[in-house]
Chain A
Amino acid sequence: MFRNILVPTDGSALSRKAIRGAVQLAREQKARVTALYVAAPYNPRISDETSVVHFVSPQAYAETARITARWYLQAIEKAASAAGVPCDSVHAFNDLPFEEIIRTARRRKCDLIYMASHGRRGISRLLLGSETSKVLAHSKVPVIVCR
């Protein structure tokens, strides 16, 4: 039923739980996994421009984001290869993670999005994470919300 499962990650503990669930489901469904990490785009604050100490060049920022993405995406790739599930990784820059998640799902023809109920920013267990609820509101494909 599911051929390509999109697994967005922000590296949080809950998203690791979603990774486990998604990979297990992918193995049983003989599906592939598309891992996604969305980083915020380069956006220096005005005050940073004047401060030599805190200034981050676009190159340095891109490098940091790349390393973070590698780190987070590798966790999914490892889990997938351990389960014998084919895995693609996507690293993108976007201010609105949910938009990138929906776009990647469309572009990569994913037929399921598997994500945690909240990630790093979720404060309360009773509230749904902001990106998760936005994905739920805008997605055209089914979404599994893992708690």
Chain B
Amino acid sequence: MYRNILVPTDGSAPARKAIRRGVQLAREQKARIIGFYAGPQWQLPVYGEFVPPEVYSPKAHAAAVKKTATRYLGEVKKAASAAGVRCKCSYTMGDYPYAEILKAARRNRCDLIVIASHGRRGIARLLLGSETSKVLAHSTIPVLVVR
């Protein structure tokens, strides 16, 4: 039924749980895992009139995001290969992670998104994470919310 399962991660513990679930489901459904990480966009660090002397360059930022993506997506790759599931990973930079997640789902023709109920920013267990609720609000494909 499911062919391509998108698993977005932010490297948090709840996201790792979603990875486990997604990989398990992919194995049973003979589906492919699409690991995805959306890093923040580079920003000019200006605080009012003050410009810090050491500006973090866009290049350095891109390198840092790449490093983070490699680490987070490595977890997805490892889990998938351990389960014998085909896996493809990608990352982008964007101000709105939910929009990047939905774009990645469209690009890879995913038919399911497996996402944690909250990631790094979720404080209360009773509240749904902000990106997760935005993905749920805008997605046109089914979303599996893992707690």
A contacts, CB < 8 Å to B: 1, 21, 24-25, 28-29, 117, 126-128, 133, 136-147
Contact = CB atoms under 8 A, between A and B. Distances in A.
B133 A145 contact: no
Interface string B77-112: 000000000000000000000000000000000001
A127 B138 CA distance: 8
Question: What 4 pairs between A and B have smallest CB-CB spacing?
Answer: A146-B142, A144-B144, A143-B145, A145-B143
B136 interface: yes
A140 B1 contact: no
B1 A28 contact: yes
A139 B142 contact: no
B136 A117 contact: yes
Q: Chain B interface: which size bin?
A: 20 to 34
Contacts of A143: 144-145, 147
A25 B1 contact: yes
A114 B145 CA distance: 10
Given A1-B24, A28-B1, A126-B137, A137 B127 contact: yes
Interface string B112-130: 1000010000000011100
Main secondary structure of the interface of A (DSSP, over half): mixed
A84 B69 CA distance: 43
B142 A21 contact: yes
B111 to A, nearest CB: 10
Contacts of A128: 133, 136-137
Given A136-B145, A137-B127, A24 B133 contact: no
Contact of A133 (B25, B29, B133, B143): B133
Contacts of A28: 1, 28-29
